[in-house]
Structure 1
Amino acid sequence: MFFKAALLALIPAVFANPQYYGPAPAPAPATSATSAAASPSSLAATNSNQMIVQVAPGGNLVFNPSDIQAPVGTLVTFAFPGGLQHSVTQSSFGSPCTPLQGGFDSGLDGNSGDTFSINVTDASQPIYIFCKFPAHCGLGMVA
């Protein structure tokens, strides 16, 4: 409940963010691997070494699941549905709709079947992600 209230309190700041103005950037390659930490969760792994996160399933502006716990050595794979462009961009708790300097970014992807993966190397540090397509983060596409 607190998490939702905190996110709702950030909505005015999100819409004031300059990332929502101007044309969308050119797409980057969709499939890549990057090291990252895991975030808290409730999802069981697809297998002992991999978890799948759906990006905008059913056209909804969400990541499903939006909260996972992955042990070290887990490959977390984000599956893109195709159609409207989305991204998996690392952010921070304090700035949920701003790319984290030095963080990972899938680039915008609108191709069905494309994936982006991160390898969990430190399960003690949570990571935060959002979709950088204009207005998606402000509409709730954060995890």
Structure 2
Amino acid sequence: MCGFVPLRTRYFDDQLRDAVRADLRQIVILAAGLDGRAYRLDLPPDVSVFELDTPDLMAFKAPVVEAAGVRPNGPHSVIGVDLREDFGPALLSAGFEPAERTLWLVEGLLPYLRLADIDLLMARVGGLSRAGSRMVTDER
């Protein structure tokens, strides 16, 4: 894992940068955990980042980010949801625009889901994605 995680992180960072260069202005990070891309990458201020993970994890992350004193460059929403459930309404309530092309980052999540849950997740992402959207994932 010591060599894999940095390489995976770099790969996802590069994919995000490429999507932003291709004028995608919505980034959705599923199973965001302690992901810091919204804070550490120099994203244009018109790029919206939506981070989704369990409510408990998002509650844990909030004081960690606060203590670090970091701020995202642009619009940023943290959404506490179980990704095995329908997260669309919560994402839409946070300002997600399905008419906009979106980059979906799914890093390190799929091995923890049953195949039926993966199918539902992909169907939900597909239902919220306009043509020209992208998904980057690993594993499974």
Q: TM-score, normalised by structure 2?
A: 0.28
Normalized per residue, which structure has more helix?
Answer: 2
Higher relative contact order structure (alpha carbons within 8 Å, sequence separation ≥ 6): 1
Q: TM-score, normalised by structure 1?
A: 0.28
Normalized per residue, which structure has more strand?
Answer: 1
